[in-house]
Chain A
Amino acid sequence: MKIALFGNPNTGKSSMFNLLTGLRQQVSNFPGVTIEKRSGTFKIGVQKHQLTDFPGTYSIYPHSLDEEIVSQVVTNPTHEDFPELAIVVVEASNLERNMLLFTQLYDLKIPLVLVLNMWDIAEKNGIKIDIPALESLFPGTPMITMNARIGLGKERLFAAISTSKRAQEVIPFYNGFFPSPINDKDAQKQEIQDRYEKLRAILPTIQGKKSSVKSTFSRKLDAILIHRFWGYFIFSAVLLIIFQFIFAFATFPMDWIEHLFITLSTWLSGALPDGVFNNLLTQGILPGIGGVLMFIPQIALLFFFIALLEESGYLSRVVFIMDRLMRPFGLNGKSIVPLMSSVACAIPGIMATRTISDWKERLITIIIAPLMSCSARIPVYTLLIALVIPKTYVFGFISLQGLVLFALYSLGLVAALLLALILKKFIRSKDKGFLIMEMPEYKKPRWSNIMISITEKIKVFVWDAGKVILAISIILWVLAAYGPSDSMSSKIRAVKETSLYKKSTEPQKETMIASAKLEGSFIGITGKYIEPIISPLGYDWKIGISLISSFAAREVFVGSLSTIYAVHDENERQENLQTHLKEARRSDGTPVYSLATGASLMVFYVFAMQCMATLAVVKKETKSWRWPLIQLVIMGIMAYVGALITYFILT
């Protein structure tokens, strides 16, 4: 049987989907997480059912792309996804608003099962619902209470699905013309008003206490957390604490991972016979992969905190206060959810813009979303911060390194807001969108959900980024180990003739020869070509090569640097990347990674569109090459100018 899941946003449809299908669709205490339909299967006894989870919507009349899909399916019985049975999920403590969609689906004569979800919260709030009375109003529709998050009521739901039979001739809930014509907004408005009036008249007779009354605890907390001043103060403090944690607690596991790769590399180098494959493995692949994988603890910590904030319900409050902050910059309230999602990754963020009804508003949000610092920037930021920012404490307890990380995230947000303001001048929209969002109750986070979220994200990071890093490490190593036949030898000859070489010790001579070979390699020659473009920013050719390779994905920057410096290190000291970078010197003997260069690189990565996957998604979402290219150019100019100014100021 084809079964559909419908309901308002954040009523627990995705939890229900996961509960029934055993899949792990992303769920959160946050509206608008599901922006497209997703299908899975489940069995009751021997009977197999196909379940489709649809985006949350308040009525069958769409206001955005994600809502449109619900409307297209339910109003067209010939549609391939038209359900044989629909499970309508409502929040038991908020019946009045949630029941509108149910009454519309009921009048469309779709066989239904009504699930009164989050029953625990309703009970806690003292709400009593007379289920038989409610069932008598909608004959043929089984109604069950559930708590999908913990799986309570699953058996009742299975029984309801198995026995569900809907009489074809039922008395419609709404007596007027239905469904209202798709272009007649006035008729739709009137219909919705009439339905609400009828619901308001009926519901008090079947529920003991007025619904939608937030618990005192939630109200008290909201008074502080969405306060005009304290709301922002607390949010800034929360972010600051997160970044402090990222630096304070990730160091130990990071060192452990790094040490593991160095040990493995040293062991393999001795265990395998000498040769090019040995070199590729120990100087190319392992440093490249290890250099990025060591940042897993920091990324896991970031996702842990994001999941914790989502699960608890605090992130919805953040959306609310950010809406207030962003309005002066002309941003649609609905832009906030995509921008917040972009902190984890710009790709789901850009896809979440489908909830924005106005095309121009949506386009602006798509263009600015990658400016929000994503998790792929974490390896770059933390590597550079640890390199050029001293490990000191402000006021004795705030880590300066954590503070700089906070500043980089803030810079991305400010840049996104300013760019939105500028884009508004060029991309004018008539439709002023607005955000309607229900504040969910604060909930005790479910650790299993948090762990699922972290493991899924880490899996994606390791597997998806890992494959690209592996491929790029191999290519970079080959380009760094080989060069035009006379180029490498002539460089070596030139070095050997210098007086500095003759005066140097044996290990120093080896390093100088390795440097000369690298400069004469394909990668060295290419790097020298691009050096004039990037030298005003304080970068040498090795940084330049890493910048180019990181166009595939930002974290590749770290992997590329690891590979280049590992090839450079002919002494087989198997040092870590930090040590290599600290020891790197320019021809005049000054360190390559000074504060100015490090800060300039960080600013570059705040602004630069170094992500092929994001560009591809922008191309798919905008259905043209024009917008990803415009985005690439805008962000490229911002990155170059921003890095140039930073380097200029700090030198």
Chain B
Amino acid sequence: MIQEIAVVLLLILSLVYLCYRVNRKFFSKEKGCDTCAFSGKEKIEPLN
């Protein structure tokens, strides 16, 4: 039973993560590139 619950939780988490990612990439106002090699400590702003 515990194993089944763990699988269901992981499945839900995966779906939520993918939806979050699609939303962030296509619909957020954040900077375009979040896969480039930045350190994360830098404040990066879009040009326009």
A residues near B (Cβ < 8 Å) are 23-26, 35-40, 65-66, 68-69, 273, 275-278, 280, 345, 347-348, 351, 354, 453, 456-457, 459-460, 464, 467-468, 470-472, 474-475, 478, 552, 612-613, 615-617, 619-621, 623
Contact A348 B3 (CB under 8 A): no
* Neighbouring A residues of B13 by C-beta, 8 Å: 471
* Neighbouring B residues of A277 by C-beta, 8 Å: 2-4, 6-7
Shortest Cβ distance from A457 into chain B, in angstroms?
A: 6
* Neighbouring A residues of B10 by C-beta, 8 Å: 280, 474
Contact A24 B39 (CB under 8 A): yes
Shortest Cβ distance from B45 into chain A, in angstroms?
A: 6
* Neighbouring B residues of A25 by C-beta, 8 Å: 38-39, 42
Contact B37 A36 (CB under 8 A): no
CA–CA, A552 and B21, complex, Å: 10
Which listed residue (B7, B37, B45) contacts A457, Cβ 8 A? B37
- By secondary structure, the A interface counts as helix
B residues near A (Cβ < 8 Å) are 2-4, 6-7, 10-11, 13-15, 17-18, 21-22, 25-26, 32-39, 41-48
Contact B47 A354 (CB under 8 A): yes
Given contacts A468-B21, A475-B14, A612-B25, is CB(A347)–CB(B44) below 8 Å? no
Given contacts A471-B18, A620-B32, 17 further A-B contacts (CB under 8 A): A26-B36, A38-B42, A38-B43, A40-B43, A65-B47, A277-B3, A277-B7, A345-B36, A351-B32, A351-B36, A459-B37, A468-B18, A468-B21, A552-B18, A613-B34, A616-B32, A620-B46
* Neighbouring A residues of B7 by C-beta, 8 Å: 276-277, 280, 478
CA–CA, A617 and B24, complex, Å: 11
* Neighbouring A residues of B46 by C-beta, 8 Å: 36, 620
* Neighbouring B residues of A36 by C-beta, 8 Å: 44-47
CA–CA, A474 and B39, complex, Å: 29
* Neighbouring B residues of A464 by C-beta, 8 Å: 34-35
Contact B37 A621 (CB under 8 A): no
CA–CA, A623 and B32, complex, Å: 11
CA–CA, A381 and B39, complex, Å: 29
Q: 14 A-B residue contacts at CB 8 Å?
A: A26-B36, A36-B47, A39-B43, A345-B35, A345-B36, A348-B36, A464-B34, A467-B17, A472-B14, A472-B18, A552-B18, A612-B22, A617-B32, A617-B33
Shortest Cβ distance from B42 into chain A, in angstroms?
A: 5
Contact A460 B37 (CB under 8 A): yes
Shortest Cβ distance from B47 into chain A, in angstroms?
A: 5
* Neighbouring B residues of A276 by C-beta, 8 Å: 3-4, 7
Interface hub of A35, A277, A616 (most chain B Cβ within 10 A): A616
CA–CA, A25 and B43, complex, Å: 11
